[in-house]
Amino acid sequence: MFQPILQNIYDDINRLNLQGKQADYIPELAKVPSHKFAINLTDISGQNYGVGAVDEKFSLQSIAKVFAFTLAYRLKADTVFEHVGVEPSGDPFNSLIQLEQENGFPRNPLINAGALAICDVLIGELPNPEQDLFDFIRKIAQDEQITYNPKVYHSEKATGYRNRALANLMKSFGRIHNEVEAVLDLYFKLCSVEMSVHTLSQTFLLYANHGRLFPTDEQILTSSQTKRLNAIMQTCGFYDEAGEFSFRVGLPGKSGVGGGIAALHPEKYAVAVWSPLLNPKGNSVKGIKALELLTTKLGWSIF
């Protein structure tokens, strides 16, 4: 059922003259060929269906914030919300103005300030923060080869002035408890994680499966925590375009400026798309259109 629909969507997207721009403010991302496009869907039984460059790795960027928050939520339970909120930002993902007005408290864990706060939490909770975080990501992805791209990491570290400003502003309000450079280093490595859409959709099956890891059935998050995390993705997962994504697609998910989007339909499937051409909000142009076509053709959304 899924394979012909994905092929149809892939063909439709390639016929459209969709325009966008790579995230050239991170120089390494500007080098990714603009024509790249892939879709992979993993159904609730673990079956995979894909079209395009499904096994080619790309930089997850903000999608990886979901994994860091998953680990922090697992470790801290509801006390994690002492560090981040759950409200949509309605502002760009790297806004300083909102953070200043709200005393350094990030609106949610999926914007840059929120992910920096979560990295600070992980440094405070984990004996070996970098190793433990990446081991956790490898565990939920069931792929021991997952790591970050050193070129993307160094590119981000060399140009991440806005993120440094966010972290230092939060530090001035007492919201960051560890050394700012240590928090930034973990954050830049997190954003530089690489996966293929094949691996990414399999990893996101966790959030479609009530927090249980497939196929071992290990409970990573409780069903209640998974529901809440999915709600945060629904309302906050697409920067200041989350409402538009809900309106057009109707699935919880998370985008990244590397051109990836991961989304899910609870108890049915997880899906990942990748195309590096972004709209002005920082979301993949082809990715959003592909997911809109998917929920339209399937006749399934959460609404």
Q: How far apart are CA 6 and CA 16, in angstroms?
A: 16
- 185 three-state secondary structure: helix
Which domain range does residue 142 map to?
62-191
The answer to whether residue 290 sits within a structural domain is: yes
| Contact between 261 and 284 (Cβ < 8 Å) | yes
95 lies in the same domain as 181 = yes
The answer to whether residue 277 sits within a structural domain is: yes
83-100 pLDDT, tens digit per residue, is 999 998 876 677 788 899
210 lies in the same domain as 161 = no
| Contact between 104 and 170 (Cβ < 8 Å) | yes
77 lies in the same domain as 126 = yes
148 lies in the same domain as 202 = no
The amino acid occupying position 268 is K
38-76 pLDDT, tens digit per residue, is 999 999 999 999 999 999 999 999 999 999 999 999 999
- pLDDT for res 96: 85
Q: How far apart are the first and last CA of the chain?
A: 21
Q: CB-side exposure of 32: number of CA atoms within 13 Å?
A: 29
52 lies in the same domain as 201 = yes
Cis peptide bond upstream of 266, omega within 30: no
| Contact between 252 and 263 (Cβ < 8 Å) | yes
- β-pairing verdict for 260-265 and 253-255: antiparallel
CATH of the domain at 154: 3.40.710.10
- β-pairing verdict for 58-59 and 48-52: unpaired
167 lies in the same domain as 202 = no
pTM: 0.96
Distances (CA, A) of 6 to 11, 20, 52, 291, 303: 9, 22, 10, 10, 21
Q: What percent of the chain has pLDDT over 90?
A: 82
Position 300 pLDDT exceeds 80:
no
- pLDDT for res 210: 97
Query: Which residue, of 191, 225, 243, is where some domain finishes?
Result: 191
Q: How far apart are CA 197 and CA 250, in angstroms?
A: 20
The amino acid occupying position 198 is H
67 lies in the same domain as 162 = yes
195-230 pLDDT, tens digit per residue, is 999 999 999 999 999 999 999 999 999 999 999 999
- pLDDT for res 121: 98
Query: Which residue, of 191, 215, 238, is where some domain finishes?
Result: 191
199 lies in the same domain as 55 = yes
- pLDDT for res 236: 94
Position 122 pLDDT exceeds 80:
yes
Q: Domains in the chain: how many in total?
A: 2
- pLDDT for res 240: 80
- 265 three-state secondary structure: strand
185 lies in the same domain as 86 = yes
Mean pLDDT calculated for residue range 186-191: 98
The answer to whether residue 303 sits within a structural domain is: no
**H or E element, residue 197:** helix 197-208
Query: Which residue, of 164, 191, 218, is where some domain finishes?
Result: 191
Cite the DSSP H helix spans in 16-63.
Answer: none
- 158-184 per-residue burial string, b: 16 or more CB within 10 A, e: under 16: eebeebeebbebbbeeebbebebeebb
68 lies in the same domain as 102 = yes
Q: CB-side exposure of 86: number of CA atoms within 13 Å?
A: 14
94 lies in the same domain as 179 = yes
132 lies in the same domain as 177 = yes
Strand partners, 148: 193
Q: How far apart are CA 166 and CA 172, in angstroms?
A: 10
Residue 283: pLDDT band (50, 70, 90) is very high
Residue 19: pLDDT band (50, 70, 90) is confident
